Amino acid sequence: MLNKLDDFPVHQTPEPLAQAATSDRNVYDRTWYNGYAADSSYYFGLGMAIYPHRHVQDAAFSVVRPGGLQHCFYGSRRAPSERTDMSVGPLRIEVLEPMLRSRVILEENESGLACDLTFSARSAAIQEGRQTLWSGARRTMDATRFDQFGRWEGTIQTPEGEVRVDPAVCHATKDRSWGVRGVGEPVTDGAPASFGGFFFLWAPLFWDDHISHAIFFDGSRGEALVREGLTAPLYATEGDVPGVEDGLVDRKAGAVHRVEYHPGTRLARYAEIDLMELDGSKRTICLEPTLRFQFKGLGYGHPVWRQGAWQGELAIGHESFDPAELDLLAPENIHVQQVVRASDGERTGIGVLEQIVIGPYAPAGFRSVLDGAG
């Protein structure tokens, strides 16, 4: 099974690129972006992924503004064998120049959402450490991810009117990941396994002349499964970005997080991150949330439009909901990303804080699958 990418010298196995190197049902390859205004007047997210062994390709686009509804578009199709086909119904992603510029188009559809947006990089690509999580002897996640920081320009049409996206104020994070992680309908594994809890925190931040980033996966006792902190240059224009990688990523000795939660929820009301330097010093970053985006709007944990689930040859859906009226302890509502104001005592920045906590988690006092903070 060949596709256009097979005409390039990029193969890692004897098989064509359409044939994944693993037979794990949960292999995936995903493109994800966010965009948000510096004044927190809007946030949008979009994602598209292919799941070769599930024969599914899906996509979503969602927008929220303060005090308003979060509007969501969902699409799913039978996965094409042609990997350069990054389209699901009216939504498509065009890679104009790899790791520098992309265009996202959502044609008019029954959701009332549409967009024509161009992403422009302001950082080189930054590879996160390989993320491998285990359940006993089985890998439940084994993925590689790279991030880029940039700007958006274009327009978004919503049921409540148009949003003009100005690159002077619209920050962007691009996230490309691939490998294996739990998606789609659950796989039956025979005898039930015990579930020990899961904590994830992800915090890409913009500062005046650089970016910072911190990634955390914790076990139920708060033990570090994955912890990474880094800084990297932020370039003034796309033309200043020197290449795919600039060799200037400063990977820290470690990172530490502290999170305060809204009572009765698992939602962060405030957080601090320490970036630990090799000489033992640290930089403490304080994060204050200003706008919440529910990740079910991109299919994460959605009871119907969950990622990788078979919906049919081509299916399109949409919904709108009020984030203020949600049960924040319902399983589909605990995965969120919040726009945050950042400060380290000398400088201020802006970024996002993504979090999900499932099951017992001792540092927060969580004792069951979905109890809230005291």
Rounded to a whole number of angstroms, the CA Rg of the chain reads 20
The residue ranges of every structural domain in the chain are: 28-182+195-364
Global confidence as pTM: 0.96
Residue 283's pLDDT is 98
Q: What is the arithmetic mean of pLDDT over 300-320?
A: 97
Q: Domain 28-182+195-364 falls in which CATH fold?
A: AttH-like fold (2.40.370)
User: Model confidence over 180-204: pLDDT tens digits?
Assistant: 988 777 766 677 777 678 899 999 9
Residue 356's pLDDT is 97
183, 25 contact by CB (below 8 A): no
User: Model confidence over 73-104: pLDDT tens digits?
Assistant: 999 999 999 999 999 999 999 999 999 999 99
Residue at token pair 């970036």: 275
Beta bridge partners of 92: 87, 105
Lowest mean pLDDT among 73-77, 133-137, 144-148, 260-264: 133-137
CA distance 307 to 296: 10
Q: Give just the sign of the alpha carbon dihedral 348, 103, 291, 370.
A: negative
Longest C-alpha distance within the chain, in Å?
Answer: 58
Q: What is the arithmetic mean of pLDDT over 258-282?
A: 98
